[in-house]
Structure 1
């Protein structure tokens, strides 16, 4: 039996429906339907229904899959400390988010918001814009998404470096990676600061008043990670005072962003509704990934994208998928996580 948590039906699950009793369960019925299920597919990645609906230890599913790269909605002890294997949708969103970030960098450099505003006013206003070749970008978070961002920005001519758990040189995608503890020391060198890190106790509020004060006055901040990486009030103050030139936010403390939020009208701020990773066909890709993993599960083969539940990500050195019967926590021996900064964090 497979239970799906979330509104609506994912596309392309006919192969699973032919092989299993698939129950499409909304959040308010999950507690009644989940006990005894073999598999839980969390289609609504933002749902917070799973912890409250989690059954007794003798009735938990053997495998939980979530339609996102982040797993913070599943950060509860009963799952983390039990035998249930957790997998995520790593790899679906990397290229799309990288393209979105490049689009934001170009939008700022070429002043596209002002161009669109002038067009609405029918105001013919010639001006010069910036180039991005040779500008510097700091990518915070060295997992697959951060790496995809770094590769694309580098290809566009920016000088890129990263921030991760530990410092290293000659990284194939990021060149120099600085330790997270050295963030304040490297922020002043960046024209663009891109947040692609997971949310942890260490990364929560990492961009605060002190961090913003070290950034260049002409720098722009782009957050495609988690909203709580940034102290929102501190960012509002920095933009109002002109301490930094701009910010682009795709994630927010409250979603949808309330109509009366000050963020809508702040100078230099671009607001997008948590869509950086969503592309035409992404739902189909998410479903295909689950169907492929479901086939592996039925055949007793190792699952792909097994999350180390105590670290909160798929370990980077696990070149082979971890076994379905292996406790996910044991994957820690495989080395640092793909996300670059550990987390219980669709991105």
Structure 2
């Protein structure tokens, strides 16, 4: 049994706490309590991940730092601070696999909502206006999914099943990918950008991907295309996006993640035509919490028994590396 497991939570503790407590000496910490409870812990379950609290509470003495940190999220960018990354004795795992299908369903829903102008329909309903009008189809429309990890692959499979023409963007170009068909290298995207009706961002936030969708990328996109971001807000230069939306070069955007969360009330994105905003919930479902705990309990059992953990993050790259599938 681990000497001590700290569970960082905010608002609600994870479900199945009795199962966790049977396997580990468990203490629960809010973000304010974490600096007092983290030093000396054997493991940390980061039930909350998008927070600076873990970095700020991390012990200065490496001997007092946890040997294992599990993130209840797919993205781990907020955990990649030097003290954790540079310590070879700290293993970082994540919830890879839990969010794949839910996020793919969300992206399909966003594409349908944009193509069919559901926001406009709801606004006409609110005003009690009868406004018949045609809508766009999605069959045959081109989609570029930027990010070829498990979430990007789930998105590609579902959009293909809906009749869309999908390709990918990743670090390694190839033409025989089982889910994307063609994957464009991240340094040669111009042709794919000019052809895509939708560009979907599903990449992790790393030093290589931060700000990857800048003014030049937005300018290369097909006029009238739409941008969907279910990755991380830091992937996009928001000011450049606002400029391109205001100029009418893009037909719209669906944004689930932002550089600053919550999105400030002063942001122009709230009121821009053709823009849909959601509060970082693309992968959340009513059964998500139970699925997250199942992944953690499996890893906790492995940790206790000394077996290899699932979903070990390459701390230098910032994501789980699957050697059987290039990214």
Give the TM-score, by structure 1 length: 0.90
Match in the other structure for 1:61: 66
Give the Å deviation of 1:313.
1.3
Asked if the contact 1:13/1:291 (under 8 Å) is kept, the reply is no
Of 249, 256, 278, 2:255 maps to: 249
Kept after mapping to 1: 8 A contact 2:8/2:48: yes
Structure 1 residue 90: deviation in Å? Answer: 0.4
For the 8 Å contact 1:251–1:274, the answer to whether it is kept is yes
1:87 aligns with 2:93: yes
The Cα shift of 1:109 comes to 1.4
CA RMSD of aligned residues (A): 1.3
1:23 maps to which of 8, 21, 27 = 27
Q: Does 1:45 align with 2:46?
A: no
- TM-superposed deviation, 1:300: 1.6
Residue 275 of structure 1 aligns with which residue? 281
Q: Secondary structure at the match of 2:313?
A: coil
Tell me the SS of whatever aligns to 1:194. strand
Greater displacement, 216-225 / 12-21: 12-21
Alignment equivalent of 1:76, drawn from 63, 78, 81 = 81
Q: Secondary structure at the match of 1:28?
A: coil
Select between 138-147 and 295-304 the one with higher mean Cα deviation. Answer: 295-304
1:171 equivalent to 2:159? Answer no
**What's the offset of the Cα at 1:77?**
1.7
**Structure 2: distance between partners of 1:54 and 1:208:** 33
- Once structures 1 and 2 are overlaid, which stretch shifts more, 90-99 or 11-20? 11-20
Matched, 1:14 2:18: yes
2:214 corresponds, among 189, 208, 224, to 208
Q: CA deviation at 1:184?
A: 2.8
Measured in 2, the distance between the counterparts of 1:289 and 1:80 equals 22
Distance in 2, matches of 1:185 and 1:132, equals: 20
In structure 2, what is the equivalent of residue 327 of structure 1? none
Match of 2:127 in 1: 121
- The CA deviation at 1:156 is 0.2
1:200 Cα deviation after fit: 2.3
The separation in 1 between residues aligned to 2:117 and 2:265, in whole angstroms, is 25
How do 1:176-191 and structure 2 match up within 5 A? 176-191=182-197
**Which segment drifts farther, 285-294 or 198-207?**
198-207
Within 5 Å, which residues of 2 pair with 1:93-242?
93-242=99-248
Superposition deviation, residue 122 in structure 1: 1.2
Q: Does 1:309 align with 2:315?
A: yes
TM-score by length of 2: 0.95
In the alignment, what sits opposite 1:321? none
Indicate if the aligned counterparts of 1:6 and 1:47 stay in contact, CA closer than 8 A: no
Moved more, 294-303 or 146-155: 294-303
- Number of residue pairs matched? 321
4+ runs deviating over 3 angstroms: none
What residue is the counterpart of 1:329 in the other structure? Answer: none
1:206 deviates by 1.9
Judge conservation of contact 1:13–1:287 (CA < 8 Å) in 2: no
Q: Is the 8 A contact 2:201 2:228 kept in 1?
A: yes
Asked if 1 retains the 8 angstrom alpha-carbon contact of 2:93 and 2:310, the reply is yes
